[in-house]
């Protein structure tokens, strides 16, 4: 997941190149945020980084401090200028992981062979229909 923090400008702001965001829900309990190359954001210095959520097996609910059910976890840290940041992250370890197996669906179009085969079947059906209608009306080829 991506974490973005904007630390307000103070006399000491912007001096740190990295910050640490802490959460028991993160793999390893912390994530490093780097000062953004874009520099200042409106009202402060922007830091950004990524964190991985702890493995599903960590959310046991027994002694780990991590619930086996959907629960909120705090993300905290210090801007280094006396200003703390805090956010809430909700994790549901029961949520399935990985991709889905839905088949190809409409993600691929027909090949040239399939188009020719379909067109041939449509033409054969039209010809058969014309012949049946002619026979029904008593018109026979001579």
Classify residue 96: in a domain, yes or no: no
Residue 74: domain span = 2-91
d(CA 103, CA 21): 40
pLDDT at 21: 92
Cβ-contact 91, 59 below 8 angstroms: yes
Q: Please indicate, yes or no, whether residues 80 and 23 belong to a single structural domain of this protein.
A: yes
Q: Please indicate, yes or no, whether residues 76 and 116 belong to a single structural domain of this protein.
A: no
Q: Quote the number of domains for the chain.
A: 2
pLDDT at 109: 65
Q: Please indicate, yes or no, whether residues 78 and 137 belong to a single structural domain of this protein.
A: no
- Give, for all 142 residues of the chain, the pLDDT tens digit: 888 888 887 665 556 788 899 998 888 999 998 888 776 667 788 888 888 888 888 887 766 667 888 888 889 998 877 788 888 888 887 766 654 444 444 456 677 888 888 889 999 999 998 888 888 777 665 5
Classify residue 99: in a domain, yes or no: no
Classify residue 100: in a domain, yes or no: no
d(CA 66, CA 78): 23
**Structure pTM?**
0.58
pLDDT at 108: 60
Classify residue 106: in a domain, yes or no: no
pLDDT at 122: 92
pLDDT at 9: 73
d(CA 77, CA 22): 6
Instruction: Give the count of beta carbons closer than 10 Å to the beta carbon of residue 109.
Output: 7
Q: Please indicate, yes or no, whether residues 81 and 138 belong to a single structural domain of this protein.
A: no
Q: Please indicate, yes or no, whether residues 115 and 86 belong to a single structural domain of this protein.
A: no
pLDDT at 103: 46
């Amino acid at each position: 997941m991506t974490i973005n923090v904007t630390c307000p400008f103070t006399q000491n702001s912007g001096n740190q190149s990295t910050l640490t965001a802490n959460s028991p829900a993160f793999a390893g309990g912390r994530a490093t945020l780097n000062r953004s190359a874009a520099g200042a954001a409106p009202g402060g210095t922007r830091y950004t980084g990524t964190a991985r959520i702890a493995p599903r097996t960590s959310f046991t609910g027994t002694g780990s401090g991590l619930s086996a059910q959907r629960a909120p976890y705090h993300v905290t840290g210090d801007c280094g200028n006396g200003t703390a940041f805090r956010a809430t992250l909700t994790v549901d370890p029961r949520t399935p992981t990985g991709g889905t197996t839905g088949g190809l669906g409409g993600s691929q179009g027909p090949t040239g062979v399939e188009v020719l085969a379909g067109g041939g079947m449509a033409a054969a059906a039209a010809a058969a229909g014309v012949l049946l209608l002619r026979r029904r009306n008593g018109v026979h080829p001579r």
